[in-house]
Amino acid sequence: MKPAPEAHLLPATEADLPAIAELADVIWRAVYPGIVSTEQIEFMLARMYAPDTLRDDVRLRGILFYRLVVAGRLAGFAALGPTEAAAVWKLHKLYLEPELHGRRLGSQLLQHCESEARRLGARRLILAVNKRNARALKAYRRNGFTIAESVTAAIGGGFVMDDFIMAKDFKQDELE
């Protein structure tokens, strides 16, 4: 494993959302071929990373975005927010430039999100991960997440999300 470069975790503002969308475009095109079709990648990028969608995530859904800055540039991001269930938060997004995989930066970003969720009252953190994304499944398991359920949901355009919902419960001593 290569050593982790110096990284800074910072909250993202609405002004950071266009750069996050640009980075998502690069990462998705590098990571998701072979997991989902090119057509689904295009559909999901347009649906999930349109400026209005990201702005609504922040303004209407209470989603918090975080930036991972490495060597002065945006290299990853994450987003989390509350769910309808009491004390359950959801990790909506966690992405890292592929060339930085294997340096524990993704785990660092994930652990930051876990800490933020606990600070905001979460007792459980959930996330959805594509069943064919072996690298992400391994990383989440390594960080203490377990598969809670299997879901397949139509998302429009003739596409489905074929995911595992993974969860991590926080121990009482972690909450205090």
Give pLDDT tens digits for 40-93: 999 999 999 998 999 999 999 999 999 999 999 999 999 999 999 999 999 999
Please indicate, yes or no, if residue 129 is contained in any of the structural domains. no
Report if residue 55 sits inside a domain.
yes
| 84: three-class secondary structure by DSSP | coil
pLDDT at 3: 65
Domain count, the chain: 1
159 against 5, higher pLDDT:
159
33 three-class SS: strand
Residue 4 CA neighbour count, 13 Å, CB half: 16
Let me know if residue 104 belongs to a domain: yes
Confidence of residue 173 (pLDDT cuts 50, 70, 90): low
Residue 153 lies in a domain: no
> Could you give the C-alpha distances from 125 to 56, 115, 136, in angstroms and in order?
22, 10, 16
Question: How far is residue 158's CA from residue 42's CA, in Å, rounded to a whole number?
Answer: 13
Q: Is residue 38 part of a domain?
A: yes
What letter would DSSP give residue 83? -
- Determine if the pTM surpasses 0.95: no
- Residue 66's domain comprises 7-124
CATH number at residue 92: 3.40.630.30
Nearest residue to 114 via CA among 53, 55, 171: 171
Q: State the pLDDT at residue 4.
A: 64
Residue 83 lies in a domain: yes
Amino acid at 170: F
Residue 160 belongs to a domain: no
**Is residue 28 included in any domain, yes or no?**
yes
